[in-house]
A and B are shown apart, each in its own frame.
Chain A
Amino acid sequence: MQTFVTEPLDWPATAPELRNQVRTLVAEHGNADPVARANSWAKPDPEFSRKLGAAGLIGMIWPKEFGGHERSPLERYVVLEELLAAGAPVGAHWIADRQTGSLLLRYGSEEEKRRWVPGMARGEVYACIGLSEPNSGSDLASVRTSARRDGDDWIVSGQKVWTTNAHNAHVMIALVRSEAGSERNQGLSQFVIPMDAPGLTVNPIIDLAGGHDFNEVFLEDVRLPSTALLGTEGNGWKQVTAELSLERSGPERYLSSMALLVELIRFAGDKDSESLRALVARLAAETWTLRLMSASVASKIARGEDPALEATIVKDLGNSFEQAMPELVQAAVDIDPAGPEALGLVLGHLLQTSPSFSLRGGTREILKGIIARGLGLR
């Protein structure tokens, strides 16, 4: 039995040049706040997104026809890991670049592609994903937001919740029930919904640390043209699970706490402490391993394979790692997690936000269930 097929990694020849490009761009933009660095892909900064877009670093694998740059998936991977490791503020365009743009290009109508994708590639158009509902969390197949036909149009009604970035987004792709009376994962479809559509309202949900990533999105008889149906009517479940499984193992699944490791190394440099060095080594070893695992999945996806089990393993391990790190650092370092030292501030931030890491993108319990199925246990 070998659940994770290992193989030597072949990084693109352009990687060093891309790394330099990203590092220079981040340094020029300025990234001094350590707490912001610990919040990289949840930190919106439209100015930075536009700079990245102008540098050709968003929509890297999309066709030039739609503003993309036709680079390879692994070149994109290099750029993503550089941005996250630096803690760059990529929150505004993150979802559009990672998921929505590619989904539109794969399934979208010509009108919708032309309307949204080029702006996304410029770093000017942002997206959110409408999945969870008040009564549909891990049990996503129970969504009740509905779409009904009205002539050529669709009328969408219902409510989405925990919608990250909805307050910055221009467009949402939502999973809704398009066949009245259908059950579970049947009769679901994805729709492209402009956030300024009449009948759509966004309310903030403030998290326990005072941050605003989440929202609730109300849809009251939102009228959409027929072109807003994404992909095939009734095929929404298949489309959405494929989307989730492929985006499960990116570098964001283990790099969320990288700012803390960097601050810990800085702190350990001033102390002659074997226990601090041991912790640095343990965390570095884990980072090194997870990077290889995540990149390995990325190269399999780039070849057109479907490493769903391996991707799930990466997310579960990665989340557990970035979640364990704050507690380990708190135990090893006598510092006030309320600040004012940089290490303390980052620690305090991650102590409070890291519980969400094993919730977003599929809870730990759901992931372990997927892995168990892969092992032939269910």
Chain B
Amino acid sequence: MNDEQRMLADMAGDLFTNLGPDAAMKDHWSAIEEVALTGLLLPEDKGGFGGSWGDALIAFRLAGYHALGLPVVEAVVAAALTQRPEGRGTIASRTEGTVSGVTFTGRISGACLASGADYIVAPCPEGGSMVLSVADAKVEAHENLAGEARDGLVCTGTSVERIEADVFAFGALARVAQIAGALDAALEKAVNYANERQQFGRPLAKFQAVQQNLATFACEAAAANCAAMGAAQAMSRGEAPFEIAAAKLRANRAVGIGTALAHQVHGAIGFTEEYPLHPLTRRLWAWRSEFGNDSVWAEKLGQTIVARGAENFWADLTALTG
């Protein structure tokens, strides 16, 4: 991290620690607006930070780490895709319907807190993305497994602006970064718990079976973090279809192993509403589905690789980085 990134990490870390999973829009969104965080990826002449995807990774990872209850990540991505400095944007993962000229009729789902948002970026059925005003659609409230708002929008001849960028891929990249952060936070909780909790007269941490489980967990958290970094770095070079697919696949895999071990180490207490493990693990389970589960990204990536052929696999892989 450079000095600016360290400042960003300190600022976002402090802010998200205070806000936490229970932050509410009406009370706490102003705290995000005060620091203009949603402009993280906007150029400075638009009032933004002029940040890179590497900077976004830092903020998104911390949002995951603190299981932040506000749709900051989505607002940052929406602003970046539309280059809009004003208002709160958000993103959605799924669209069913038809675009005719500049109007859309159909249903958008998986919208990350659409109610109260000014605009939304959703996948366009004909490729790329479309931007529409939330006021022009009927919002149907829905939540993901972790209680995060994932609204539906019913649109009838709603006017849309088409953009080239693929919000589905950007959403996946954001989720990978959040998964990386949430896994590190769950690992930290599990390690602390193992050091504190005594059974058979000694801390759980002294049992080899527990040590080996936590070591396995650490490996998975590391893999998710490295995948997030690889995809973010690739984005800075331009488009990154291979890297985003690979990163989401790898991060999704880490979710399964990591959450299982986090709960195994915590025992029954980790399964309670009271204990703050579930804000992380339930988000991880939800995020594994969002913006492409394994089958979606595996088919995209598998098709590309198989079409390019065996002899090109390694050459293509190395050509991504130099």
Taking Cβ atoms with an 8 Å cutoff, the residues of A that contact B are 1-4, 6-9, 11, 13, 15-16, 19, 23, 81-82, 85-86, 258, 261-263, 265-266, 268-269, 274, 276-282, 284-293, 296, 310, 313, 316-317, 320, 365, 367-369, 371-372, 374-378
> Is there an interface contact between B218 and A371, defined as CB atoms closer than 8 Å?
yes
> Is there an interface contact between B298 and A378, defined as CB atoms closer than 8 Å?
no
> Is there an interface contact between A377 and B233, defined as CB atoms closer than 8 Å?
no
How near does chain B come to A351, taking the closest CB pair, in angstroms? 20
A-B contact pairs, 15 of them (CB 8 A): A3-B218, A4-B225, A15-B322, A81-B318, A258-B314, A269-B309, A276-B302, A281-B302, A282-B249, A288-B246, A313-B219, A368-B216, A375-B218, A376-B205, A377-B194
> Is there an interface contact between A281 and B305, defined as CB atoms closer than 8 Å?
yes
> Is there an interface contact between A372 and B222, defined as CB atoms closer than 8 Å?
no
Closest to A2 in B: B184
Complex interface: chain B residues within 8 A of A284 (CB): 246, 301-302, 305, 313, 317
> Is there an interface contact between A263 and B310, defined as CB atoms closer than 8 Å?
yes
How near does chain B come to A56, taking the closest CB pair, in angstroms? 20
> Is there an interface contact between B191 and A376, defined as CB atoms closer than 8 Å?
yes
Tell me, in angstroms, the Cα distance from A4 to B224 when the chains sit together: 10
Tell me, in angstroms, the Cα distance from A6 to B298 when the chains sit together: 25
Complex interface: chain A residues within 8 A of B219 (CB): 313, 316-317, 320, 371
Closest to B222 in A: A4
> Is there an interface contact between B306 and A85, defined as CB atoms closer than 8 Å?
no
Is B299 an interface position by the 8 A CB rule? Answer: yes
> Is there an interface contact between A6 and B195, defined as CB atoms closer than 8 Å?
no
> Is there an interface contact between A282 and B298, defined as CB atoms closer than 8 Å?
yes
Complex interface: chain B residues within 8 A of A269 (CB): 306-307, 309-310
Is B211 an interface position by the 8 A CB rule? Answer: yes
> Is there an interface contact between A289 and B227, defined as CB atoms closer than 8 Å?
yes
> Is there an interface contact between A11 and B305, defined as CB atoms closer than 8 Å?
no
Interface of B (DSSP majority class): helix
> Is there an interface contact between B212 and A368, defined as CB atoms closer than 8 Å?
yes
Complex interface: chain A residues within 8 A of B236 (CB): 8
> Is there an interface contact between B226 and A6, defined as CB atoms closer than 8 Å?
yes
Tell me, in angstroms, the Cα distance from A365 to B305 when the chains sit together: 35
Is B111 an interface position by the 8 A CB rule? Answer: no
Q: 5 additional contacts, CB 8 Å, given A2-B184, A269-B307, A377-B210?
A: A265-B313, A266-B310, A274-B299, A278-B294, A280-B306
Q: Which residues of chain B in 248-296 are interfacial with respect to chain A, using CB atoms and an 8 Å cutoff?
A: 249-250, 253, 294-295
How near does chain A come to B79, taking the closest CB pair, in angstroms? 23
Is B11 an interface position by the 8 A CB rule? Answer: no
Among B187, B222, B230, B242, max chain A CB count under 10 A is at B222
Tell me, in angstroms, the Cα distance from A19 to B317 when the chains sit together: 12
Tell me, in angstroms, the Cα distance from A97 to B301 when the chains sit together: 36
Complex interface: chain B residues within 8 A of A6 (CB): 225-226, 228-229
How near does chain B come to A27, taking the closest CB pair, in angstroms? 11
Closest to B223 in A: A289
Closest to A272 in B: B306
Is B19 an interface position by the 8 A CB rule? Answer: no
Complex interface: chain B residues within 8 A of A374 (CB): 218
How near does chain B come to A264, taking the closest CB pair, in angstroms? 8
Taking Cβ atoms with an 8 Å cutoff, the residues of B that contact A are 1, 54, 184-185, 187-188, 191, 194-195, 205-206, 208, 210-212, 214-216, 218-219, 221-223, 225-230, 233, 236, 242-243, 245-247, 249-250, 253, 294-295, 297-303, 305-307, 309-310, 313-315, 317-318, 320-322
Tell me, in angstroms, the Cα distance from A3 to B214 when the chains sit together: 12
Closest to A258 in B: B314
> Is there an interface contact between A372 and B246, defined as CB atoms closer than 8 Å?
no
Lowest 8 CB-CB distances: which A-B pairs, in order?
A277-B302, A4-B222, A372-B211, A1-B188, A371-B215, A6-B229, A266-B310, A368-B215
> Is there an interface contact between B218 and A289, defined as CB atoms closer than 8 Å?
no
Tell me, in angstroms, the Cα distance from A190 to B320 when the chains sit together: 42
> Is there an interface contact between A375 and B301, defined as CB atoms closer than 8 Å?
no
> Is there an interface contact between B222 and A280, defined as CB atoms closer than 8 Å?
no
Closest to B243 in A: A288
> Is there an interface contact between A285 and B245, defined as CB atoms closer than 8 Å?
yes
> Is there an interface contact between A285 and B249, defined as CB atoms closer than 8 Å?
yes
Tell me, in angstroms, the Cα distance from A125 to B301 when the chains sit together: 43
> Is there an interface contact between B222 and A377, defined as CB atoms closer than 8 Å?
no
Closest to A7 in B: B229
Closest to A378 in B: B211
Complex interface: chain B residues within 8 A of A375 (CB): 191, 214-215, 218
Complex interface: chain B residues within 8 A of A281 (CB): 245-246, 249, 297-302, 305
How near does chain A come to B316, taking the closest CB pair, in angstroms? 10
Tell me, in angstroms, the Cα distance from A76 to B313 when the chains sit together: 21
Tell me, in angstroms, the Cα distance from A23 to B311 when the chains sit together: 12
> Is there an interface contact between A376 and B218, defined as CB atoms closer than 8 Å?
no
Assuming the contacts A261-B313, A375-B191, asked whether A293 and B299 have C-beta atoms less than 8 A apart, the reply is no
Complex interface: chain B residues within 8 A of A265 (CB): 305-306, 309-310, 313
Complex interface: chain A residues within 8 A of B299 (CB): 274, 277-278, 281
Tell me, in angstroms, the Cα distance from A85 to B314 when the chains sit together: 7
Complex interface: chain A residues within 8 A of B1 (CB): 7
Tell me, in angstroms, the Cα distance from A132 to B292 when the chains sit together: 48
How near does chain A come to B298, taking the closest CB pair, in angstroms? 4
Tell me, in angstroms, the Cα distance from A282 to B247 when the chains sit together: 10
How near does chain A come to B262, taking the closest CB pair, in angstroms? 12
How near does chain B come to A209, taking the closest CB pair, in angstroms? 24
Complex interface: chain B residues within 8 A of A282 (CB): 249, 253, 294, 298
> Is there an interface contact between A268 and B229, defined as CB atoms closer than 8 Å?
no
> Is there an interface contact between B227 and A292, defined as CB atoms closer than 8 Å?
yes
How near does chain B come to A15, taking the closest CB pair, in angstroms? 5
> Is there an interface contact between A289 and B214, defined as CB atoms closer than 8 Å?
no
Complex interface: chain B residues within 8 A of A320 (CB): 219
Among B218, B297, B298, B309, max chain A CB count under 10 A is at B218
Tell me, in angstroms, the Cα distance from A7 to B57 when the chains sit together: 11
Complex interface: chain A residues within 8 A of B212 (CB): 365, 368-369, 372
Complex interface: chain A residues within 8 A of B54 (CB): 8
Complex interface: chain A residues within 8 A of B214 (CB): 372, 375, 377
